[in-house]
Structure 1
């Protein structure tokens, strides 16, 4: 069985505007948190269980866009496997606040940014 897409993220120079856009378009709820710099967790209201997501602010030029995160059990091992297949490591395993697990990121051989996510019960 393959690893599932576990989370998505949309990074914008105006995350409030995009939160309203996706809320109106798809009926999603975006709960922006000022403590997280305006980053908002997205409830897609999908079934059988909603796909986790977030809409957040841009922190540097060129980081806007849509990213997906694949659920894995060991961030370091999967980063190493990706590098062995031609990827470049972008973000080392990093814990998320409030028990949301941890993540890492790499650029695939074409330069697309891909995230890895180990949920609250996963390892890093």
Structure 2
């Protein structure tokens, strides 16, 4: 069985503009959290089974863009597997605040960044 998309993220050098753009375009609700640097969790309004997301500020050069997060059961195993298939580990397993679990990021052989979430 395949692994589901669990989360999406938009990272921008002007996250407030990006939050307003997507909010106004798709009628999404964006709850920005000042304690998280203005990162905003997104409620698409599409129901409880919808994939949630976030829109936040760029933290380092090259991290802007749209990223999907795939739900996995073992971050390290999937990072190792990505590397074996020609990908590159970018962000090691990292704890998220609260009870949101952990995440990691790799680049596929074309340089597309993909997140993992456990």
TM-score per shorter chain, which class? over 0.9
Q: Please state if 1:89 is matched with 2:55.
A: no
Rounded to whole Å, the distance in 2 between the matches of 1:73 and 1:80 is: 13
Q: Please state if 1:65 is matched with 2:62.
A: no
Task: Give 2:46's aligned residue.
Answer: 46
Gaps of at least 5 residues in structure 2 are none
Q: Give secondary structure in 2 for the equivalent of 1:67.
A: strand
Task: Give 1:34's aligned residue.
Answer: 34
How many residues align structurally? 118
Structural RMSD (CA): 1.0
Rounded to whole Å, the distance in 1 between the matches of 2:11 and 2:115 is: 13
How high is the TM-score relative to the length of structure 1?
0.91
Task: Give 1:100's aligned residue.
Answer: 100
Q: Give secondary structure in 1 for the equivalent of 2:98.
A: helix
Gaps of at least 5 residues in structure 1 are 119-124
Rounded to whole Å, the distance in 2 between the matches of 1:82 and 1:17 is: 33
Task: Give 1:109's aligned residue.
Answer: 109
Moved over 3 A (4+): none
Q: Please state if 1:22 is matched with 2:22.
A: yes
For residues 97-120 of structure 1, give each alpha carbon's deviation from its aligned partner in whole angstroms, at most 9, with x where no partner exists: 0111110011101111111011xx
